[in-house]
């Protein structure tokens, strides 16, 4: 679920988020989100399904007033059956969490059981360089407040490869993050995205990025330090204590179905009834009739057709569609069996466990080698992929050259 508001736009950010929107806008946006939930709850796709995970991301969800955020979470619960052990995550910017913890208490009462803080770095000069609105001390206060409010599942996002950052800075950031006792750490390397202030600095030759070998050292030493402290490296950029992998993101990496709500949100679902801008799904065919990748695919006995689709990006147009009582879908594309197989490979190979031969064959009726034999052979010969029993996974070298691996399956 996407909340598109931020207090200030960070220098590296190209997410669909907007600074400077007021309280009225927030009220209207939350009302639109609830209207979108109503429309989905009335459709057949989610009927009889239990929701295993909810993720409220952004933007900065915690920029919303606590009562509005709580309304979003209770709104989900009122319309969709949540699994008793559902993972309910809210992303939080430490600069928008009141130390008294009122907002955090409201979130807990509304059912949030996981909180993910954008901490990014231990050094305030780096946080300022990124355009973050918080200090490291505020991260510490926010984590302590979350714990007081009853959150025990706390994730921290960190960044490396930042302008002016040294491997020593990143090591200190990791040690500091570990001292805060999180259950989960995401460590992302900075990507300079087109159109951002960092991109313009980079074009002008003014972005003092660390050299490639320093960034490589940050990744390598970070991995070693986190693993030595009991974290499992389970996805290229993600580490978890035992039992605390992000179940929501595992759905993406395992290429399973999900519904995105909010402006610009993406979904992957089997549609049983027409959607605005996508038309009617064609009637289902049995999988046995589509070997080789027909454009129409469904699993036997399941009606409808799989689509990836996305919502209107701007909050205004998103809200306008809902005001007229229609789902705010901008466009989408049917996902045929070939595409689903390719996506299952390149998403699954982000996970360090890799892609299971048995699960792949159970889903598609063919083993990975039968479909991708030459590509897998090439990548194994280059030392980028390896078989670990029945799992095809990245090697240590493949981990740093993931783009080469994933490109083979796109």
The site for ligand SF4 (CB under 6 A) is made up of: 6, 9-10, 13, 15, 17, 58-60, 93, 118
Percentages helix, strand, coil for the chain (3-state, rounded to 5) are: 40, 20, 40
Q: To the nearest whole angstrom, how small is the minimum distance from the Cβ of residue 32 to ligand SF4?
A: 19
Q: Which CB atom, from 15 or from 387, has the smaller least distance to ligand SF4?
A: 15
Q: To the nearest whole angstrom, how small is the minimum distance from the Cβ of residue 262 to ligand SF4?
A: 13
Q: Which CB atom, from 10 or from 371, has the smaller least distance to ligand SF4?
A: 10
Q: To the nearest whole angstrom, how small is the minimum distance from the Cβ of residue 191 to ligand SF4?
A: 12
Q: CA nearest 76: which of 65, 64, 89?
A: 89
Q: CA nearest 388: which of 358, 342, 354, 360?
A: 354
Q: Which CB atom, from 93 or from 153, has the smaller least distance to ligand SF4?
A: 93
- CA–CA gap between residue 179 and residue 143 (Å, rounded): 11
Exposure on the CB side of residue 337, measured as CA atoms within 13 A: 23
**CB 324, CB 318: distance < 8 Å:** no
Q: Which CB atom, from 198 or from 406, has the smaller least distance to ligand SF4?
A: 198
Q: To the nearest whole angstrom, how small is the minimum distance from the Cβ of residue 10 to ligand SF4?
A: 3
Q: CA nearest 162: which of 134, 123, 204, 116?
A: 123
Q: CA nearest 219: which of 160, 157, 168?
A: 160
Record the tokens describing residue 232, joined without a space: 């499992």
Q: To the nearest whole angstrom, how small is the minimum distance from the Cβ of residue 7 to ligand SF4?
A: 8
Q: To the nearest whole angstrom, how small is the minimum distance from the Cβ of residue 142 to ligand SF4?
A: 13
Q: Which CB atom, from 15 or from 252, has the smaller least distance to ligand SF4?
A: 15
Q: Which CB atom, from 13 or from 352, has the smaller least distance to ligand SF4?
A: 13
Q: Which CB atom, from 132 or from 245, has the smaller least distance to ligand SF4?
A: 132
Note the maximum CA span of the chain: 60
Record the tokens describing residue 266, joined without a space: 């993406």
End-to-end Cα distance, the chain: 26
Q: To the nearest whole angstrom, how small is the minimum distance from the Cβ of residue 388 to ligand SF4?
A: 35
Q: Is 225 left (phi over 0), alpha (psi -120 to 50) or beta?
A: alpha
- CA–CA gap between residue 119 and residue 135 (Å, rounded): 9
């Amino acid at each position: 679920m996407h909340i598109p508001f931020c207090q200030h736009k960070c220098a590296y950010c190209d997410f669909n988020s907007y600074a400077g929107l007021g309280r009225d806008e927030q009220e209207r946006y939350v009302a639109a989100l609830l209207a979108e939930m109503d429309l989905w709850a009335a459709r057949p796709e989610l009927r009889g399904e239990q929701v295993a995970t909810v993720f409220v991301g952004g933007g900065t969800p915690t920029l919303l007033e606590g009562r509005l955020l709580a309304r979003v979470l209770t709104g989900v619960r009122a319309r969709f059956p949540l699994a008793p052990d559902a993972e309910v995550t809210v992303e939080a910017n430490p600069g928008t969490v009141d130390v008294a913890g009122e907002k955090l208490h409201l979130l807990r009462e509304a059912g949030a059981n996981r909180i993910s803080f954008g901490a990014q770095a231990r050094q305030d000069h780096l946080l300022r360089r990124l355009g973050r609105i918080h200090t490291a001390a505020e991260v510490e206060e926010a984590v302590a407040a979350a714990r007081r409010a009853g959150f025990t599942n706390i994730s921290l996002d960190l960044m490396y490869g930042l302008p002016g950052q040294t491997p020593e800075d990143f090591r200190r950031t990791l040690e500091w993050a570990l001292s805060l006792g999180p259950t989960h750490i995401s460590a992302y390397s900075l990507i300079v995205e087109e159109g951002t202030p960092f991109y313009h600095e980079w074009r002008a030759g003014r972005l003092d990025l660390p050299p490639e070998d320093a960034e490589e050292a940050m990744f390598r030493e970070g991995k070693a330090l986190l693993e030595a402290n009991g974290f499992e490296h389970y996805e290229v950029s993600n580490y978890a204590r035992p039992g605390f992998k992000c179940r929501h993101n595992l759905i993406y990496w395992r290429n399973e179905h999900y519904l995105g709500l909010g402006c610009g949100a993406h979904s992957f679902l089997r549609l049983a009834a027409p959607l605005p801008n996508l038309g009617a799904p064609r009637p289902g065919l049995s999988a046995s009739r589509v070997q080789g990748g027909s454009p129409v695919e469904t699993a036997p006995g399941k009606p409808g057709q799989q689509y990836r689709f996305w919502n209107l990006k701007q909050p205004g147009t998103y809200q306008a569609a809902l005001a007229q009582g229609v789902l705010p879908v901008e466009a989408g594309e049917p996902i045929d069996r070939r595409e689903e197989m390719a996506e299952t490979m390149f998403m699954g190979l982000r996970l360090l466990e890799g892609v299971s031969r048995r699960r792949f064959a159970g889903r598609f009726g063919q083993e990975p080698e039968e479909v991708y034999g030459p590509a897998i052979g090439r990548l194994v010969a280059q030392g980028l992929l390896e078989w670990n029993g029945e799992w095809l996974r990245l090697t240590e070298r493949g981990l740093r050259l993931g783009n080469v691996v994933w490109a083979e399956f796109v």
